[in-house]
Amino acid sequence: MAGTEKHTILPRPTFDRPVKVLIVVSPYYSDIAEGLLAGAKAELEAAGATWDVVEMPGALEIPTAIGISDRRSNFDGYVALGCVIRGETTHYETVCNDSTRALQLMGLQGLCIGNGILTVENREQAEVRADPEGQNKGGGAAAAALHLIALGRKWADTRKDIGFKPRGEDTLMAGQTDGKSIA
């Protein structure tokens, strides 16, 4: 199925200054997490990036850890790694939806996050996706973070004002005039 399809892999971005990435991983399924982590580390090393790793108990804690790190550290980007395997209850949907939604919202706020949290039906699917020699979803998540970091750096000095512009010497406050009549 998915393992036999061909996928486009973008060329690895290059950087003119160091890149520092935080990998946040849930080792709930430790063998799956080890494969994801190996793939992510290899991709970051190939791009010349440095990385740190923190572990969280489950996928739901990964976005919170990234949010805390963003407020209190100096990482350029993040890689979220974990695995959620469907069980007998609706907990699967909650964990998948909420962790993904939280990561997406942080991304829309400007964080560079590669999402490597696997959401699968069974262990076999997880093993194939986590294997660095297989689908290498950990490496793919790291690559996504690197591409987002590169894009952010490309446009770092091209900000657009949103909403009201800051008041400067040439800006008049409401009720002020510059001596010219307004018709």
21: three-class secondary structure by DSSP: strand
Q: Which amino acid is at 44?
A: L
Catalytic residue positions, numbered = 91
Q: Name the E strands within 28-172.
A: 50-55, 77-85, 113-120
Q: Which amino acid is at 76?
A: D
The contacts of residue 92 (CB under 8 Å, 6+ apart) are 84, 85, 86, 119
Q: Which of 47, 45, 76 is nearest to 149 (CA)?
A: 76
The contacts of residue 61 (CB under 8 Å, 6+ apart) are 26
